[in-house]
Amino acid sequence: MTESESIQQLAERIRAAGLLGKPGLLSRLFDYLIARSVSGTAPKEIEIAVDVFGKDESFAVSQDSTVRVYVHKLRRKLEEFHAQSGREDASRLVLPKGEYRIVIEHSAAPAIERAEQPAPSPPPPVEQRRWLNLRNTVLAAAGCLLLAGGALIGTHMKSGGPASELDTVRGNPIWAKVLHDQRPVVVVVGDYYIFGETDPRSGAVKRMVREFSINSARDLEEQLQSDPQLNGSYEDLDLAYLPTSTAFAMRDVLTTLAAPGQPQQRVQIVLASELTTEMLRTSHIIYIGYISGMRQLQELAFQHSRLRVGSSFDELIDKRTGQRCVSQAGQLPEAGTTYRDYGFFSSFPGPTGNRFVIIAGTRDVAVMETAEALTRAWPLAQLSRSIQSESFEALYEVAGLNRSNLSGRLLFSAALGSTQRSPSKDPSNTDNNFFLADLSDEHSH
């Protein structure tokens, strides 16, 4: 087999593993670099910017880090694939630091070739009938389809990898406490109520409105009663919407919950607006979504936290240090520039021995990164090593580019009500560095 054929064969394995995620810029970059490697030509940064990212010839590589950021992320994905493939590969694809080319690297002692084993069957998807109750509206129906597709894709992607990765995640105390019994699991997704503004002459709805102080049909009715002049101006449309990050976070979490041998009907999915007191008492609760969409769960999660929500839901304030963590995602970052977002995780016992697990963020990329960190073996183990309590929380700083999460850094983890400083603050810990400002290793090409 020629080297070009070997590269193409390994590339197909990486694509089939689903490690590059949904089709997008990362997969396009991978395909482009593979094609250039097969042809024996290494592209320059400006060529990648034009051919992959659609930049024009005036693109200034010194001013825009898009190419370097995605190359950095692709390198991590390749390393992750070979580290977790569960195979004794004689060959691997690598993206050398400071270069824009993918090469094949052969080990000194090739492993004995073994017959390919068929991929294990994916675990059965969790019960999804509840999603049909996410309101009979166009937006809610679209959200259901998005969530269902994300869950099925995620189940296929993870189950196709080594069993030990998923087993390790499920065996971690954070998830084992939810999976070890037969108690129902309620996955709560943060939703937002929207209503219609009507034309005063025709009565037709001319636009939809999201108002943070109006979170239900009852709130809208009370608003209309308190201000009679608004009567006839607003209309309840029985509509709700979900942030797009919910689908990708659900993909990771539902795969973890779909444990072999567990009854499918254990898992129920509800909107935060439909969460009941009975559910809070009797079920394990897993929240996924924005901090601003937590509703009654916000008080439970933050009552003993060292964090508090600031003047907006894009701001978290450390009550011990006074440090303000403000998401830049809401500031409409310029396309092609990186920005910061913040992810929040908390786990604590409920009133009847049940567990609450909160996976939240100020905006989309933080929700996605936090869900990934909590469903991947290595970052989950890192978090577990830093906490020795039944009730704890963690804060992540996340790097975003456009609508993609690039990487995250654990800022602190501590017992709820504690001022404990996380070992992750040790400056020698560089395994999961946040790299918004430091991509110097990409400039040496």
pLDDT of residue 406: 87
Same domain? 226 vs 196: yes
Residue 291 domain flag: yes
Residue type (1 letter), 194: I
**Helices 163-171 and 138-159: crossing angle, nearest 10°?**
110
Same domain? 227 vs 81: no
Residue 138 domain flag: yes
CA distance 77 to 17: 11
pLDDT of residue 111: 38
pLDDT class of 374 with cuts at 50, 70, 90? very high
The residue with greater pLDDT, 84 or 258, is 258
Same domain? 218 vs 356: no
Torsion, Cα 106 108 114 117, to 10 degrees, reads -50
Helix (H, G, I), strand (E, B) or coil at 237: strand
Same domain? 424 vs 298: yes
**For the purposes of burial, counting CB atoms within 10 Å of the CB of 389, is it exposed (0-12), middle (13-18) or buried (19 or more)?**
middle
Q: Are 375 and 169 in contact (CB under 8 A)?
A: yes
pLDDT class of 318 with cuts at 50, 70, 90? very high
CATH of the domain at 64: 1.10.10
Q: Report phi then psi at 12, rounded to 5.
A: -65, -40
Spatial neighbors of 340 by CB under 8 A, at least 6 apart, are 327, 328, 329, 397, 398, 399, 400, 436
What is the mean predicted confidence (pLDDT) over 138-160?
41
**DSSP for residue 414:** E
Residue 292 domain flag: yes
The residue with greater pLDDT, 402 or 418, is 402
Query: How many structural domains are present in the chain?
Result: 3
Same domain? 10 vs 89: yes
Same domain? 163 vs 226: no
What is the mean predicted confidence (pLDDT) over 350-356?
93
pLDDT of 236 > 80? The answer is yes
For Cα atoms 399, 314, 219, give the angle at the middle one, nearest 5 degrees.
Answer: 140
Beta bridge partners of residue 386, listed in sequence order = none
Spatial neighbors of 107 by CB under 8 A, at least 6 apart, are 89, 90, 91, 92
Helix (H, G, I), strand (E, B) or coil at 206: strand
Residue type (1 letter), 339: Y
What tokens does 61 get? 């590589």
CA distances from 282 to 178, 272, 277, 287, 349 (A): 12, 16, 9, 15, 12
**What is the tens place of the pLDDT at every residue in 43-86?**
988 899 899 888 887 777 766 777 887 888 888 888 878 776 65
**DSSP for residue 334:** P
Same domain? 25 vs 85: yes
Beta bridge partners of residue 409, listed in sequence order = 397
pLDDT of residue 264: 57
Residue 121 domain flag: no
Residue 175 domain flag: yes
Q: Report phi then psi at 417, rounded to 5.
A: 85, 5
CA distance 199 to 372: 44
Residue 118 domain flag: no
Residue 114 domain flag: no
Q: In the listed set 74, 106, 138, which residue is the last one of a domain according to the structure?
A: 106
Same domain? 217 vs 186: no
- Residue 83 domain boundaries: 3-106
Q: In the listed set 204, 222, 241, which residue is the last one of a domain according to the structure?
A: 241
Same domain? 196 vs 185: no
DSSP conformation letters of 22-60: SSSHHHHHHHHHHHHHHHT-PPPHHHHHHHTT---TT--
**What is the tens place of the pLDDT at every residue in 278-313?**
999 999 999 999 999 999 999 999 999 999 999 888
Poorest-pLDDT segment among 117-131, 164-178, 211-225, 328-342: 117-131
Same domain? 267 vs 134: yes
Residue 7 domain flag: yes
The residue with greater pLDDT, 254 or 3, is 254
Spatial neighbors of 105 by CB under 8 A, at least 6 apart, are 91, 92, 93, 94
Q: Are 172 and 129 in contact (CB under 8 A)?
A: no
Same domain? 389 vs 332: yes
**What is the tens place of the pLDDT at every residue in 193-216?**
999 888 877 778 888 888 877 888
**What is the tens place of the pLDDT at every residue in 96-144?**
877 888 888 876 543 333 334 444 444 434 333 333 333 333 333 334 4
pLDDT of 94 > 70? The answer is yes
Same domain? 322 vs 433: yes
**What is the tens place of the pLDDT at every residue in 27-36?**
889 899 999 9
pLDDT of 340 > 90? The answer is yes
